[in-house]
Amino acid sequence: MTHLLLAAAVTLAAVQQLPPLQVTGEVVDPSGSALPGAVVSVRGTPAIVVTDDRGRFTVAATMPATLVVEMPAFTTRTVQVAAASASIRIVLALQAHSEAVAVRAPVIDSPPDARVILRPIDVVRTAGARADLMRALAVSPGVVQLDEGAGLFVRGGDVSETTVLLDGVVVSHPYRYETPTGGFRGAIDPFLTQGITFSTGAFAADVGNSLSGLVDLRGQARPTIPRVSVTAGLAGVSAMAAVPVGGKAGIRVAGNRTTPSLLFAVNPSPREFDWLPGGWDVAGSAHLDTATRGRARVFLLEQRDHVGVELEKDAFVGFLHSNAEHRLVAASWLRTVGRDWNLSASAGTDAYANTTDVGVLAVTSSDRTGSARLDAGGRLGDWRLRLGTDAGTIRADVTGHAPERGGDFGGVSGVTSFRSAHRDWRTGAYGEITRRWGAVEPTVGLRADYFDHPGVFRADPRVNVTIDWGARGRVRAAWGLYDQAPSPRYFDQAHGAIRLAPMAATHYLAGYEAGRFDGAAYLRLETYAKTYRHLPVQDPVVGFRDDGYGSARGVDLFARRVWHYIDLRGSASWSHARRRWTSPEQRDRYPLPDGTWAPDFAVPFTWQFLATVPVSRTASVNLGWRTAAGRPFTPALGGVATDSGYEPVWGTINSERLPRYERLDLAASVTRTIGARAAAIFFVAVDNALARRNFFEYAYSADYSARHPVSSASPRSFYVGCSVTR
Amino acid sequence: MSLKAVVILTAVIAGPPVTVGTIATQTPAPSDLEASAARLEAAVLAEDANGVKAARIGLLRQLPAASDPARVALLRYTAAYAGWRLAFAPAIPAGEKQDLLDDAETQLKETIKLSPAFAEAPALLSAVYGAKIAQAPDLGMTLGMQASAMLAKAVGLGPNNPRVLVLKAMSLFHTPPEYGGSVREAEAVFRQALTRFDQEGARAPWPNWGRFDAHVWLGQALAARGDKAGARNEYEKALAIAPRSNWVKLSLLPQVR
């Protein structure tokens, strides 16, 4: 190996020391006439010559070389030269006639009016997020955490009520290692995106089929320079490459493979695994940008995940085996029309197949969603307008058998076959208009949707008013109606619903903000109230009815201060949520009282503090501390003996609350440049540094006479890695 | 002796060039650099990308015949300045912008070799790196630190140079606060730059660009902290320098009315 490296170094040195060769040529116009005065330079070197009166030139260049040929009124041309040749003939095309065009110093676009805006680097800098996009969003104000997963429960809404879009295409499975509370981590690598916008309520009319939150991901732009990065850490290895193709196209590819054995060797789990969580994913995107036809991008993602883990649920102890395949395709196109209008279109599919086997539950599911959108936005005088249409389809099939009573993996209360073949589609149209009058900027929007399965139309007006308040402050008030089709899981053929109306919500929001979210000082205080209608509720006769309802209200406070490179963020959220609602996984699990009760995600308070402190120009330490009230749970009061075991006697649904959740996460990173074009980042993280024993569930003895907390994660975990980019 | 003084002295003693009769082999008079730079700046202020391109090529044409290191350095610096300006012109294709920035980097590195004490070259190189990062954020990890180092070097060489101050303030304005940016600090440095421009005078020899930028970016810094009247005032001063700037007239001013 040493000899090989030495040989390579000697060869490289020999190549570098090759004397330059004289390259000769002539520059002509399309008619063949000589172009005197053209400037010929050798890219990356100071060598410059000018063509003579016969259009000829001679320049010294080390092979291979790229010549750049420039001439006023002609299109600049680059020519690759691999070896000295007799003479090169370079034809310059006439530049298309154009008016004088604006030339100016850098302009940075203002961020859109959205609640939380993250860049990929922000995801990495968030302590405890483990470089995961959804985990980084989970520490946003208004989001409650139910467990150590990445699920986003937004302002009194379930995780299924937050829609994730990638370039306008619906990502129907945004989590990996899916669980009823979301999943272990996000499906999309943050470095495959150029930015993330997260709205926690009262979002605009262009968003349909979403009840609580919106995560809007924008895919990476066309690469203009070749880049390669390789990352290796305790949890896996990954690589990314970006390759420009000509001046208008480019491709990006990325691959990732998890290596769980190393991670679990360093951080032993309290749970046993007979199949360590693992998997791989590959992603790629192709880009084409043209001046006349706009920018087009196609994104592809293929993922495989598996896990075999010990599970404790109620009085059941056994292994859960899960195997998932995920494929996402998203195509988008954007074109500027005239000075003030943008046209965009997107279409894509998300296909997911999963087998889950735990106790008496054994199901095979597959679903495929499709979505498409056409959008036009721009200016008419002082008015800003947005018009568009979107549509979505779903084909979901589930077969297998499941416990008669939700969560009864031991099958004490019986087992039933489960079969579902749900087909649905939805289409909608929207319009929105905005105008500023002095300090006041109202936005009025309306969207109309048709939901095919229940066969109903919904019209959702949405209004937002922003008023400038003081030099840097704004007051915002918003109101809107929102609808979302229920999960296909409600429609199994044996016990499920036949028809359910779209779930509906009304959002009321009032708040004040000062500064800019990405500025040095920012403060936001928002109060919200929501009412829910047509929520699915279990029914002994028809499976589920759609007469559930509920409400949520709360206050979110967020503050950010950056000074002397120290970035401090703090948030506090208080919320109160009540619902009469049954999630598909909890069918027939608990006896339902009259009226409403606190849903699993009714967490009254969440406080969080994040800090990034530089310790040198190239090193920083990140800290994250968060605490929250424990989630509500339903206590088992005892057990009743049956022929097949003990059936639990449940107390009032969600009448007790788990202990307070708290954790402190620490992370540090050091950046080192390698030559002029490469850099390495070394990172280390300690999650739950104080080893607090948080838990999110109780398990019970076989007769339900005693209970104990379920520990699902290592009390404290370490992570190290390195990423090299060139 | 400053680079500017060297250039002026060279212009005085060099005498007229030998004219061979073609545009390709003409060796321009030393004053051609000043004339080319004046045409370039006029095109910049008129937002005329084609004019900037033509002026840049005119500067590059002068390079093969130039032998005095100070003059070569100033030619390369000015060509790099033109390339940097063009990198923000909407009508220039992305690939060409990248070539222009690559060339600007090459020219500025040569300028620094030829005139190590010339503060504006590392300052502009820092801005070129910033422009490269803006076009390809992937480069931030490697070029970000180099941009900071170049700017620090420039400030060390020319702490009172108005263009160094303008470029430093623009960097402060555009850099996220967690990476050391500060709109408030940018505002102070833009004001400092304008004071230095007043001392430099309106008829200063090339390089003399930047007064327009100082006003227009100070205006944006003021707008960012809610001072619309102050921003309007700065935009009006920018328009007095560049009356044809559609950027100021159609984009910036309406935002603060």
pLDDT digits (tens, 9 = 90+) for B52-101: 999 999 999 999 988 899 999 999 999 999 999 999 887 787 778 888 99
> Of B157, B187, B219, which residue is a domain's last?
B157
CB contact under 8 A, B177 and A725: no
Any idea what DSSP says for residue B249?
A: I
What structural domains and CATH numbers belong to chain A? 18-91 (2.60.40.1120), 116-725 (2.40.170.20)
Say how many Å lie between the first and final Cα of chain A, rounded: 23
> Of B157, B191, B208, which residue is a domain's last?
B157
pLDDT digits (tens, 9 = 90+) for A687-699: 999 999 899 999 9
Q: Where are the beta strands (DSSP E) in A180-235?
A: 182-186, 193-199, 213-219, 227-233
CA distance A264 to B90: 52
Q: B107 is written with which tokens?
A: 């020219």
Contact between A201 and A509 under an 8 Å Cβ cutoff? The reply is yes
The nearest CA of chain A is from the CA of B161 a distance in Å of 19
Contact between B65 and B27 under an 8 Å Cβ cutoff? The reply is yes
Total-model pTM: 0.80
Let me know how many helices (H) and strands (E) chain A has, helices first.
4, 44
Chain B interface, best mutation among A28, A52, A103, by max B CB count within 10 A: A103
What distance lies between CA A566 and its chain's CA centroid?
A: 26
The nearest CA of chain A is from the CA of B203 a distance in Å of 22
> Of B109, B140, B157, which residue is a domain's last?
B157
Q: How many CB atoms lie within 10 A of CB A595?
A: 8
Any idea what DSSP says for residue B248?
A: I
Please state whether the peptide bond connecting residue B28 to the residue before it is cis, i.e. omega within 30 degrees of 0: no
Task: State whether B209 and B239 are in the same domain.
Answer: yes
Using pLDDT thresholds of 50, 70 and 90, give the confidence band for residue B257: confident
The ipTM (two decimal places) reads: 0.78
pLDDT attached to residue A18: 59
Task: State whether B73 and B186 are in the same domain.
Answer: no
Task: List CB contacts (< 8 A) between A39 and chain B.
Answer: 57, 60-61
Contact between A249 and A289 under an 8 Å Cβ cutoff? The reply is yes
The nearest CA of chain B is from the CA of A255 a distance in Å of 17
pLDDT attached to residue A115: 62
Taking residues B182-187, what's their average pLDDT?
Answer: 91
Residue numbers of chain A with a pLDDT score lower than 50: 1-17, 97-114
pLDDT attached to residue A252: 95
**Domain around B15:** 1-157
Task: State whether B90 and B209 are in the same domain.
Answer: no
CB contact under 8 A, A101 and B50: yes
Task: State whether B56 and B152 are in the same domain.
Answer: yes
Chain B interface, best mutation among A40, A104, A681, by max B CB count within 10 A: A104
Query: In sequence order, which residues have a C-beta less than 8 Å from that of residue A371 and are 6 or more positions away?
Result: A168, A169, A170, A346, A347, A348, A349, A390, A391, A392, A393
- Give yes or no for residue B112 having a pLDDT over 60: yes
The amino acid that residue A11 corresponds to is T
Query: In sequence order, which residues have a C-beta less than 8 Å from that of residue A111 and are 6 or more positions away?
Result: A117, A516, A517, A518
The nearest CA of chain A is from the CA of B178 a distance in Å of 5
Structural domain count of chain B:
2
pLDDT attached to residue A394: 96
Task: State whether B17 and B114 are in the same domain.
Answer: yes
Task: State whether B35 and B146 are in the same domain.
Answer: yes
Task: State whether B58 and B71 are in the same domain.
Answer: yes
Task: State whether B13 and B130 are in the same domain.
Answer: yes
pLDDT attached to residue B91: 77
- Give yes or no for residue B7 having a pLDDT over 50: no
Whichever domain contains B191, its CATH number is: 1.25.40.10
CB contact under 8 A, B141 and A681: yes
Task: State whether B57 and B144 are in the same domain.
Answer: yes
- Calculate Rg over the CA atoms of chain A: 29
The nearest CA of chain A is from the CA of B77 a distance in Å of 12
Residue of chain A whose alpha carbon sits nearest to that of B48: A100
CB contact under 8 A, B142 and A516: no
Query: In sequence order, which residues have a C-beta less than 8 Å from that of residue A483 and are 6 or more positions away?
Result: A208, A209, A211, A449, A451, A458, A460, A502, A503, A504, A505
pLDDT attached to residue A54: 92
Contact between B75 and B97 under an 8 Å Cβ cutoff? The reply is no
Task: List CB contacts (< 8 A) between B85 and chain A.
Answer: 103-105
Nearest partner of A609 among A577, A635, A571, A647, judged by Cα: A571
Task: State whether B93 and B37 are in the same domain.
Answer: yes
Q: Which of B64, B103, B142 sits opposite A49 (nearest CB)?
A: B64
Task: State whether B147 and B182 are in the same domain.
Answer: no
pLDDT attached to residue A9: 43
Q: Which of B49, B93, B225 sits opposite A291 (nearest CB)?
A: B93
Q: Where are the beta strands (DSSP E) in A359-484?
A: 361-380, 383-403, 415-435, 440-451, 456-469, 473-484
Task: State whether B168 and B86 are in the same domain.
Answer: no
